[in-house]
Structure 1
Amino acid sequence: MKIRLIVAKNIGFCFGVRRSVETVEKLLESERKVYVAGELVHNERVLNELMKKGMVLFNPHSDLPKDLKAHTVVVRAHGLPPNIVKRLEDHAGRVVDTTCPIVMDMFKTAKGLAKKHDRLYVLGDPNHPEIVALRGYVEDPIVFKDRNELEKILKMRNDNPNLKVALISQTTKDFMTFQRSLELLVKHFKCVSVNRTICDITIKREEELGELSKKSDVVMVIGSEKSSNTNKLLRIARENTKAFLVSDPHDLRRRIPEFSDGMVVSMVSGTSTPDQLVDEMIDELKKICEEVDVVWSR
């Protein structure tokens, strides 16, 4: 079987995740144990490899490890509420904060907008770590996961249309949903401020995927089903063509029966997918298929 493989230009770790992972790796070179407040990255493979080296995950919102004072604690890229960071600083040997600068800018933007407006609407997943952290910066943000939920919230609240409201987003949400949500808010309120806090890297991945999916027979999205941005890419790809999620080379082999000779296959990934895994997927395809014409998107 021969296939043409188009590899996305924007693939592998994003800047924020790479920074967090590399920080933990560097610390583990000189420390036997390194604590991480929460799940460092939404990728089981990366987590397992780092835990074998001495990384220990814990829930910073619950009871703290008894030996925390003797070790370093890393704050992951998603960030944490300020009061939780302060708690860690009071109980840990030291705290290394690797909150993504783009996520931190979102927190600061939200805080500023909340002071100047009657309501702050946030497009996001209520249980996503970014949103959990955001609640530590802003009191009672109105969080909704999509346009449909926003519509239900607006009908239920029946707020005065003269209220000043603002709209921001979790950094990994898709731009189209953000735009549709803004249109809905504008219909309900006379004064709507908006700040597009979606990460530019995620927008570029969405735009590139939109183009690749139109010229592909199938799209492979590499990543974990626990990753919100990976699932978002899968959903976008399926709007134009057949697409499936693969987490590792073994998972890929199970999908081979869905391939056929002469297929054009595009490969994209979530921002929590390591570059090494992308390379391994390409190598695995070369082992399985008689011929793979690899084209790197530009």
Structure 2
Amino acid sequence: MSGKVFLAESAGFCYGVKRAVELAQKTAEETGGCWMLGDLIHNSHVVEDLARRGIRKTEDPGSLGKGDTVVIRSHGEVKNVLDDLEARGVRCVNATCPNVCRIQKLVAQAEQDGRQPIIIGEPHHPEVVGVASWCRHALVFDGPEAVKMWLEKDTSHRQIPVTVVAQTTCIRKLFESSWEILKKECTNVKIFDTICNATHKRQTEAAAIAGKVDVMVVVGDRKSANTKHLTEICQKRCSRVLQIESADELSAEVFKDCGAAGLTAGASTPAGIIKEVYASMSEEIKAAEGMDESFEELLNQSFKTLNTGEKVTGIVTAITPTEVQVDVGAKQAAYIKLSELTDDPTAKAEDIVHVGDEIETYIVRVNDVEGYAELSKKRLDAVKVWENIEQAVEDKTVLEGTVTEENKGGIVVSVKGVRVFVPASQSGQPRGADLSSMIKQKVQLRITEVNRARRRVVGSIRSVTEEARKAAQEAVWSTIEVGKHYTGTVKSMTSYGVFVDIGGVDGMVHISELSWSRIKTPSEVCKVGDTLDVYVISFDAEKHKISLGVKDRTLNPWDVFMNKYSVGDVASVRIVKLMTFGAFAEVVPGVDGLIHISQIADRRIDKPEDVLSEGQIVDAKITAVDEEKKKISLSIRALLTPTAEAEAAEDAE
């Protein structure tokens, strides 16, 4: 088996990538030159070749105009970008992989059916970003741990019907472990296995080859997600895995003592590059076999000297249940005990590091006699965290952490494993608030005090929130204008109106501006915490006062009344005010009519309240309308007493 190179049958272009490249080339020939929005595929060599064929690249959709032709990349594009391009007359040739198009349709249909779309994949990958844009709100998780955090954050999530899809190049194990959690914890789950068949075949084949060779080479662009996943899969089966973009990166040293080598390539890698790498590997393996012993002597001379207490960087070569073996370029065999890898007693080594990872550690002990060096990642991490914390004080850096507990006088926030005490006055919560409600919440804070010797760190959430609020206020005051609409939140209420937060600034909505109907208190139409669509009536930037309105000024109540009623019509009205001479009744919101005391009953009454009460709904006849003065006369009596004509008719009978 010496010198043999095993080439994966499925290496190279998949159907979707091949289709995209051919479609782009054909479009360029037909148009004499066209555009691609970003990289058509994740391979710089292919993109450069396309450029030579007249397919220019742009990252800015706005730079394209009517008459331009653009080829949409195989990963797909954000929906509103596509819509905008078409609206501006740009011809779009859609080279999106059919498998990706299917996922786009699945998430759109899920939302239409009232389901929560969930995508398992890399949140920032162009394919995932594009797919997520085909619905209003998709959730993206990069694996089972993120799914667990989402479910633990709010148990109500478990009742939501969900539809689960995967990025086409997602590692199958990640997808399956993610949907198994969702299926177990949620009551209504639909799962669509959208991992590309070619991807699954390529990953399975790569794993099989990696398990029987000494060196595994993965070819593909470093921006390619599926190439990265291939590398990760191979690293679990082979101790020496090399990810390259071209044959230039190979050398004979890579294949030293190599009995057999394996070769696979990502979905965006052209056949020409694969062929070149295959030929180069064969030559380099032969060269490695011909190396003389002087190479070993030179290698021994290059070994570094290890000293206790120093930092050292190495490559993870093997992982066992109790330790991680590391090549640090020294004669000694170096290893990290699991207890020196992490503080988490439940963590597994393979969840923290992988074979082939570069790792920076602290040298705990060197035993030259027995030929080993004991390392610690945990101690170095702790030193780095404290250095970062101390630097954060000087730089006033905003850090993120999770609230872990409430104690006397405040809360504790975990920032990269360091306990940060936040006094209640700096928690950003009102005085006397229940701080236990903040536990498990992610918060942003600044470090205000560090005492490394006493391991004491103090922080402030309030300084960050106040700064954000101040910035929001400045943004409001710099753009505010009469008539501008805001979506605000009711912060407090008085007898004469409500105060609404429109983004860090409070505005006043007078009770008369809350509704066209007559109301006695604001609580009749809203409550604290409600969201209101408000607009600016007036403002005083110097005094920082804003007058807001809620009533729709385009809807004139008098016009509504005139379109709906005429003299002689009967209306169901609400009694809004009782006077000595009669009662006012609301005919439509914002328009009242007068029922004179003589028109309230079919008999003489001393005062209106003998018959009516405020809030009562009664039927009344519209007897007169003064359009100029916008006054309405109503009568209940007209519906109770027969008219003179009716009485005369009855007498005649």
What SS class does the counterpart of residue 195 from structure 2 fall into? Answer: coil
Are the equivalent residues in 2 in contact too, given 1:119–1:166 (CA < 8 A)?
yes
| AA aligned opposite 1:285 | M
Which of residues 219, 240, 243 is equivalent to 2:241?
A: 243
Are the equivalent residues in 2 in contact too, given 1:77–1:100 (CA < 8 A)?
yes
Are the equivalent residues in 2 in contact too, given 1:4–1:262 (CA < 8 A)?
no
What SS class does the counterpart of residue 290 from structure 1 fall into? Answer: helix
Q: How does 1:47-66 map to 2 (within 5 A)?
A: 47-60=47-60, 62-65=61-64
| AA aligned opposite 2:50 | L
What SS class does the counterpart of residue 158 from structure 2 fall into? Answer: coil
Give 1:27 shift: 2.8
CA distance in 2, matches of 1:251, 1:103: 32
Give 1:129 shift: 1.3
Which of residues 120, 124, 127 is equivalent to 1:127?
A: 124
What SS class does the counterpart of residue 63 from structure 1 fall into? Answer: helix
Give 1:31 shift: 4.0
What SS class does the counterpart of residue 62 from structure 2 fall into? Answer: coil
CA distance in 2, matches of 1:225, 1:244: 12
CA distance in 2, matches of 1:286, 1:216: 14
Are the equivalent residues in 2 in contact too, given 1:164–1:189 (CA < 8 A)?
yes
Q: 1:291 to 1:10 in 2, by over 3 A?
A: farther
What SS class does the counterpart of residue 282 from structure 1 fall into? Answer: helix
- Counterpart for residue 106 of structure 1: 103
Give 1:158 shift: 2.9
Query: TM-score under structure 2 normalisation?
Result: 0.42
CA distance in 2, matches of 1:154, 1:64: 42
| AA aligned opposite 1:207 | T
Which of residues 224, 228, 244 is equivalent to 1:231?
A: 228
What is the percentage of aligned positions where both structures have the same residue? 28
- Counterpart for residue 295 of structure 1: none
Q: Higher strand fraction: Structure 1 or Structure 2?
A: 2
CA distance in 2, matches of 1:36, 1:50: 9
Give 1:262 shift: 4.9
Are the equivalent residues in 2 in contact too, given 1:3–1:291 (CA < 8 A)?
no
Which of residues 140, 164, 167 is equivalent to 1:167?
A: 164
CA distance in 1, matches of 2:284, 2:258: 14
Q: 1:51 to 1:157 in 2, by over 3 A?
A: farther
When structure 1 is superposed on structure 2, of 227-236 and 14-23 the one drifting more is 14-23
| AA aligned opposite 1:231 | K
Which of residues 248, 252, 267 is equivalent to 2:250?
A: 252
Deviations 1:237-259 (A, max 9, x none): 10111211011111123xx3121
Give 1:133 shift: 1.4
What SS class does the counterpart of residue 161 from structure 1 fall into? Answer: helix
Deviations 1:211-242 (A, max 9, x none): 11111112110001110110001001101112
Deviations 1:117-155 (A, max 9, x none): 542211021221112211331121110111112222222
Q: How does 1:44-83 map to 2 (within 5 A)?
A: 44-60=44-60, 62-65=61-64, 68-83=65-80
Which of residues 256, 270, 274 is equivalent to 1:274?
A: 270
Give 1:51 shift: 1.6
- Which structure has the larger Rg? 2
CA distance in 2, matches of 1:280, 1:160: 51
Are the equivalent residues in 2 in contact too, given 1:72–1:92 (CA < 8 A)?
no
CA distance in 1, matches of 2:30, 2:188: 54
The alignment status of 1:216 with 2:213, answered yes or no, reads yes
What SS class does the counterpart of residue 3 from structure 2 fall into? Answer: strand
CA distance in 1, matches of 2:57, 2:154: 39
Are the equivalent residues in 1 in contact too, given 2:35–2:70 (CA < 8 A)?
yes
Are the equivalent residues in 1 in contact too, given 2:41–2:47 (CA < 8 A)?
yes
CA distance in 2, matches of 1:289, 1:161: 55
Give 1:169 shift: 0.9
The alignment status of 1:194 with 2:191, answered yes or no, reads yes
| AA aligned opposite 2:68 | H
Give 1:53 shift: 2.8
Flag structure 2 segments of 5+ consecutive residues without an equivalent. Answer: 289-653
- Counterpart for residue 201 of structure 2: 204
Q: Higher helix fraction: Structure 1 or Structure 2?
A: 1
Give 1:89 shift: 2.4
The alignment status of 1:33 with 2:2, answered yes or no, reads no
CA distance in 1, matches of 2:197, 2:248: 32
Deviations 1:84-138 (A, max 9, x none): 2232223355221111111111111222223335422110212211122113311
Flag structure 1 segments of 5+ consecutive residues without an equivalent. Answer: 293-298
Are the equivalent residues in 2 in contact too, given 1:122–1:141 (CA < 8 A)?
yes
CA distance in 1, matches of 2:32, 2:66: 14
CA distance in 2, matches of 1:28, 1:132: 27
Q: Which has the higher contact order (CA 8 A, sep 6+)?
A: 1
CA distance in 1, matches of 2:198, 2:91: 31
What SS class does the counterpart of residue 173 from structure 1 fall into? Answer: coil
Query: TM-score under structure 1 normalisation?
Result: 0.89
Are the equivalent residues in 1 in contact too, given 2:17–2:74 (CA < 8 A)?
yes
CA distance in 1, matches of 2:279, 2:4: 14
CA distance in 2, matches of 1:146, 1:135: 16
The RMSD of aligned alpha carbons is: 2.0
CA distance in 2, matches of 1:103, 1:248: 28
